[in-house]
Amino acid sequence: MLKKRIIPKFLLKNGSLVKYKRFFDDKRMAGNPVSTAKIYNDYGADEFIILDILPSDDSKNRVLEIISTISEEVFMPFTVGGGVRSLEDINLLLRAGADKIVINSQAVLDPRFVNEAAKTFGDQCITISIDYAQIKKGVHRVFINGGRDRTNYNPIDWALKMQDSFCGEVLLTSIERDGIMSGYDIDMIKKLDSKLDIPLVVSGGCGGIQHCVDAFSAGASAVAISSLFLFTDHSPIKLRSHLFSNGVNVRASKNSWN
C-alpha cells in the first residue's frame, strides 16, 4: 500500500511567497520560497508544490530561477505549476529541477494537451489541478484562470476525464475552503476516491491535525497544506508523528531526504 503523503504548498505571486483566503481575500506575505523550502526539507516533508498564481512572462522567469535554486539545495521532490500552456513550458520546468508539473487552465482550453504531455514526458509527472466551488446547493463547478472563470464541468466528471487523458494524479482544491482552516471537503473527497484509480491530493481548508486524519480516512492519497504550516506552530514533523501514532500509513522517519 502506498504511504500517505504530507505536502507543503507554496503560492507565488511575482516570485514572492503569499497566502490568500478563498483565492482572493486577505493577502498575507509568507516568507522566502527558497529558505522556506529548505526548512520543510529539514522537517522531512514528502514533497512540496509550487504554484505561480498570477503567471506572466516575467513571473515564469522568476519561477524558473527559484526552482533552479531550490533544486540545488533541497532533496525532496517538488511539483510546479501556473501558466503551463505548452510542451515547451513543461520541458523548461523539468529541466530547471521540477519533478512533476501541474496543469490547470490549459487542460480545459485544450483537453488534448494533457494526453500529449503524458505521452511526451510520462504520466507520472503530469498532475491535473482542479479548483472548484459550489455555485448553488449541491452543484459544484470547476474554475480556471486562478479561480476567476467558471466552466461547465463538475469536479467529479472533470477528474474522470483527466484520468482518461492519462494524468498521473489530481490536485483537488476547494476555493471556498482555501485558507479558511475549517477542514477539507470530506464529501467531495469520498466521492472522488470511489471513482478515481489515480492518487488524489487534496487542498483547501486544513486547520489542524484532525483535518488531515479525516482527509486520509476519506480516501485522500496526500494532503497539501499552506496556512497550517505557515501561520501556526504545526510542522511536518509534528503532523507526521501524530498521524503515525494514530495508525495512518505515513513515512516514519523525517530524515529520508537527508
CATH code, 191:
3.20.20.70
Summarised one tens digit per residue, pLDDT across range 132-180 is 999 999 999 999 999 999 999 999 999 999 999 999 999 999 999 999 9
Is 255 inside any structural domain? Answer: no
Domain count, the chain: 1
Q: What is the number of other CB atoms lying within 10 angstroms of the CB of residue 1?
A: 4
Range of the domain at 101: 5-245
Is 258 inside any structural domain? Answer: no
Is 221 inside any structural domain? Answer: yes
Is 256 inside any structural domain? Answer: no
Is 254 inside any structural domain? Answer: no
The answer to whether 253 and 44 have CB atoms below 8 angstroms apart is: yes
Q: Is the pLDDT of residue 246 over 80?
A: yes
* Phi–psi pair at 210, nearest 5 degrees: -65, -30
Please tell me the pTM assigned to this model: 0.95
What percent of the chain is modeled with pLDDT above 70? 97
Sign, CA dihedral 176-180-182-184, equals positive
Residue 91 is predicted with a pLDDT of 98
* Cross-strand partners of 188: none
Q: Is the pLDDT of residue 20 over 50?
A: yes
